[in-house]
Chains A and B, each alone.
Chain A
Amino acid sequence: MSARNTTTTPSTLQQTKSVIAACLCAVVLQIVLAAPLQAADEYRTVTIADPYIEMRTGPGRGYPIFYVVDRGDSIEILMQRTDWYQVRAANGKEGWVNREQLERTLQADGQSVSFKVATIEDFTNAKWEIGALAGDFDGANIVSIYGSYSLNPNVAVELWGSQILGNFSDGYMASINVVHETWPEWRVSPFFTLGAGVIHTNPKSTIVEAPDRTDDIGHVGAGFRIYATRRFLLRAEYKSYVVFTSRDDNEEIEEWKVGFAFFF
């Protein structure tokens, strides 16, 4: 009897569960195993052209120099973190070298090594941009994220998602807008924007019970994109919204925001 009991087929629910568990295990294993697999990859090898190159124990200026590789020797570049490169010498010693030193080495074809660093030109020409801004939305706080795609250096299309956090209500807003930059090559580049979207408002639970509502919005605005460093920029903007309510009057809202963004 007991033997028969143990051979009962598992229910479909259990089967599904075990399938899900197996899938999860596979995903976790892949993630765990991915690192050692990558380690087996080929690394870029460069030859030292300077009298020597300094290897530090960590990716930062303060970390001590513990090893020096001489001119003519080659090193493998294992990985990059910010402006620092982890390298391996022929004898297996591993350490961190900064970009300026590594740019004075030679590639296998005898040419000097150059690493692509984002500059102000990329600030003008980059296609994609993502960022986060926060500020004031008619007395309420607003936190926004956006993604932008440049059609050309002057014109970009942006998609925004915002959360509005006020004393009397909170809500969400989504909008799509077109941005025009008149002088995109300037370090502080002014822009104008025009867009439309929707706003969902949810009155606070502690004040009088009022229904949630969703309205269409239109906006115009202006602001500055300011190139900071590498792929990093600061952004400040003003937008004037018109909320097309179902009541007699449309609502007008002013918004001021500052934040940061990356381009790539």
Chain B
Amino acid sequence: MESRFRVLFLIIAMISLSGCAATKNLFGFGNEEAPPPTAEGPGQVIDPEVERREIKEPKIDREDFEIGAFVGIMSVEDFGTDVSYGVRLAYHLTEGFFVEGTAGYTEAGLTSFEELSGDARLISDSERELYYYNLNVGYNILPGEIFLGEGRAYNTNLYLIAGLGSTDFAGDDRFTVNVGAGYRLLLTDSIALHLDFRDHMFDIDVIGEEKTVHNLEGHLGLTVFF
């Protein structure tokens, strides 16, 4: 008898519990609850494991820097004209603006006074070596293309630069302002040919009174973008 009551009570309890569970689901209260653990755990038919497609994108090669060397002629006011050499590093900010650092070397000759007077020397031979560096801002003012025959076109740029630096000449470092213009011809997308004209201005007092001298330089350079 007792066991019968027990079974009956269990049945009632189960029905009421399942009813509660159904009602809960019906009113949408049970959504947050974890699903009841399955006792037997039938073997799953579908395995939902999907591997995410991993795509490794190759990096894009950035070529905003430009490095190169140049050879030209530089006229040192009162001291004649000689061959100049130098290096250049540029960073292109936008299609218009770039910043540039240049360093160069030339050797100054004799002044007319020194040539006429025979042995008199205003400065020593080692002081005649002229080294300069400049930090410039540049702007590509006239971008364009040139055409060689029918099938060839090269991109070009006419740019202006201006900047500050120092020139080591005649025994002292001299504050130097330089301005100039250049023409960049891109032989390939990464190699460029430059033709530059610059005016290096600094104050000097080697020949009597202090004066501002203009030292003109023209050079031809080759640069590589990287």
User: Does A pair with B?
Assistant: yes
On A, residues with C-beta under 8 Å from B are 35, 38, 41-44, 57-63, 77-86, 107-109, 115, 132, 134, 140-141, 143, 145, 163, 165, 167, 170, 204-206, 229-232, 260, 262
| A–B Cβ pairs within 8 angstroms, 22 of them | A57-B145, A58-B143, A59-B95, A60-B140, A79-B61, A81-B63, A81-B64, A82-B64, A82-B92, A82-B93, A82-B94, A83-B94, A85-B60, A86-B189, A140-B175, A141-B164, A143-B135, A143-B164, A163-B173, A205-B172, A206-B206, A262-B91
Q: CB-CB < 8 A to A83: which residues of B?
A: 94-95
Contacts of B10 in A (CB 8 A): none
| Given contacts A82-B64, A206-B205, A107 and B155 within 8 Å (CB-CB) | no
A41 to B92, CA, bound (A): 24
Task: List chain A residues, Cβ under 8 A from B164.
Answer: 134, 141, 143
If A44-B60, A165-B175 are given as contacts, then 7 extra A-B residue pairs at C-beta distance below 8 Å, sorted by A number, are A63-B155, A79-B60, A79-B62, A82-B64, A143-B164, A163-B166, A165-B174
Q: Which of A58, A62, A132, A167 has the most CB of B within 10 A?
A: A58
Q: Are A108 and B55 in contact (CB under 8 A)?
A: yes
Task: Determine the distance from Cα of A145 to Cα of B137 in the docked complex, in whole angstroms.
Answer: 15
The answer on a CB contact under 8 Å between B60 and A143 is no
Q: Is the CB of B166 within 8 A of A165?
A: yes
Does A62 contact B173, Cβ atoms closer than 8 Å? Answer: no
Task: Contact check, B95 vs A80: say whether CB atoms are below 8 A apart.
Answer: no
Which residue of A79, A107, A231 is within 8 Å of B57 (Cβ)?
A107
- B165 at interface, CB cutoff 8 A: yes
As a 0/1 sequence over residues 154 to 177 of chain B, the CB contacts with chain A under 8 angstroms (1 = contact) are 010000000011100011111100
**Which chain A residue has the least Cβ–Cβ distance from B174?**
A165
B53 in the interface, Cβ–Cβ < 8 Å?
yes
The 8 lowest CB-CB distance pairs between A and B, nearest first, are A165-B175, A205-B171, A141-B175, A58-B155, A79-B61, A170-B173, A60-B95, A42-B58
Knowing A62-B143, A143-B164, A143-B166, the reply to whether A84 touches B60 (Cβ < 8 A) is no
Q: Is the CB of A63 within 8 A of B145?
A: yes
Contacts of B135 in A (CB 8 A): 132, 134, 143, 145
Q: Cβ of B225 < 8 Å from any Cβ of A?
A: yes
Q: Is B99 an interface residue (CB 8 A)?
A: yes
